[in-house]
Amino acid sequence: MIKVAMLSFWHVHAKDYAKQATEHLDTEIVAVWDELPERGQIEAAQRGVTFYADLQELLANPEIEGVIVDTPTNIHRDVMVAAAQAGKHIFTEKVIAPTLREVNEILEAVSAAGVTLTVSLPRLNSNSTLAIQSILNQELLGQITMVRSRLSHNGGISTQFNPKGWLPDHFYSAEQCGGGALIDLGCHPMYLTRLLLGMPDAVSATFGYVTGREVEDNAVATLQYANGAIGIVEAGFVNAFSPFVIEVHGTEGSLLFSEHDGKILLRSNKDAEASQQWVEQGNWPETNPTAFDQWVSHIQNGTKAEENIQLASDLTKLMEASNRSAASKQQVRIDTLAR
């Protein structure tokens, strides 16, 4: 049994990860620390585990083998470096950190300590993503020229029951979050676009402030590639009905997926039926294990989540470049980011 500690319940998904740890047959939550002691005490009491007011005291406990990090994004670097130096395996909410420099400091600490790090990038494991990859591997679209992906919800919209929207106030803190809709929801379409197109040379981003918050609640980032391909990433907190969508277009065909109907549709000059009409694609692969399950497996088997970490590191590069672009109103090259 792997004994783990919850490090903060700041993130909206923290309780989801706590549930996964509780339900997993090979993990057990034994401790809680939170930068807000009152919140941490409540969560620890609900689970019947020890609350630590001092993070270093928790990390010094030799019985704790791993930590689940759901702290504010701006303290990820300090918390994860400390955890790695204490020999604790780390599972964390995306992003690893707001800047490439901080990510590299975390990865250096993780490598030096020989611990396992895994980042929650859940849409990498969905069967829709695996099905799209399978179709692309058959080269039915020819040369990929564009990927467009969108994820948005209504978390920032005022309603009768939630006058400020249902997202917690701290999700609009530029200091704690490192951004708004793009670094939160936009992470998912961003890492999927990176998965399908690779890393771009440069990024341009435009942010909107529909509700007048400190951070953007409406965002678009465009990714530019040397071969002429373009990636388009869209995110927002201000859309009542906006299903997750992904489009992949190439010189020989196009692929469409939307969660409004759950269908993958294909047109391709390289397929007899699909050359004449849009064809729904069946026989999807099975969903991969969750990122948390993969983390546990890596710990047990002494392996590393190499692809996960590379994609997560690239995600921070893309987010940092997007934030710099929106602030400067200029395109930002990836190779200009400080390491």
How confident is residue 339, by pLDDT bands cut at 50, 70 and 90? confident
Contact 315, 308 (CB under 8 A): no
The model's pLDDT over 18-68, given as tens digits with 9 standing for 90+, comes to 999 999 999 999 999 999 999 999 999 999 999 999 999 999 999 999 999
pLDDT digits (tens, 9 = 90+) for 190-207: 999 999 999 999 999 999
291-314 average pLDDT score:
98
For position 129, what pLDDT does the model report?
Answer: 98
**Entry pTM:** 0.97
Dist. CA 222–CA 322, nearest whole Å? 9
Over residues 251-263, the mean pLDDT reads 98
Is residue 283 over pLDDT 90?
yes
- Report the 10 Å Cβ neighbour count for 272: 9
CA-nearest of 151, 216, 223, 222 to 187 is 151
Residue with tokens 């602030």: 327
Q: What angle do CA 231, 190, 139 make, to 5 degrees?
A: 55
Average pLDDT value over all residues in the chain: 97
**Band of pLDDT at residue 338, cut at 50, 70 and 90:** confident
Amino acid, single-letter form, for residue 143: Q
Cβ–Cβ contacts within 10 Å for residue 30, how many?
A: 20
Report the pLDDT averaged over residues 114-127.
98
HSE, CB side, 13 Å, CA atoms: give it for residue 136.
Answer: 20
Give the type of residue at 330: Q
Q: What is the DSSP string of 143-166?
A: SEEEEEEEEE-STTS--SS-TT-S
Ranges of H-type helices in the chain: 14-23, 37-47, 55-59, 76-85, 100-113, 127-137, 174-177, 181-184, 187-197, 291-301, 306-328
Backbone angles phi and psi of 314, in degrees to 5: -65, -35
- With vertex at residue 319, the alpha carbon angle to CA 317 and CA 320, rounded to the nearest 5 degrees, is 65
Question: DSSP letters along 230-260, please?
Answer: EEEEEEES--SS---EEEEEESSEEEEEETT
DSSP state of 200: -
- Over residues 314-323, mean pLDDT: 98
Long-range contact pairs involving 44-50 (C-beta distance under 8 Å, separation at least 24): 47/18, 47/22
Q: What is the percent of the chain with per-residue pLDDT over 90, rounded to a whole number?
A: 99
209-236 tens-digit pLDDT: 999 999 999 999 999 999 999 999 999 9
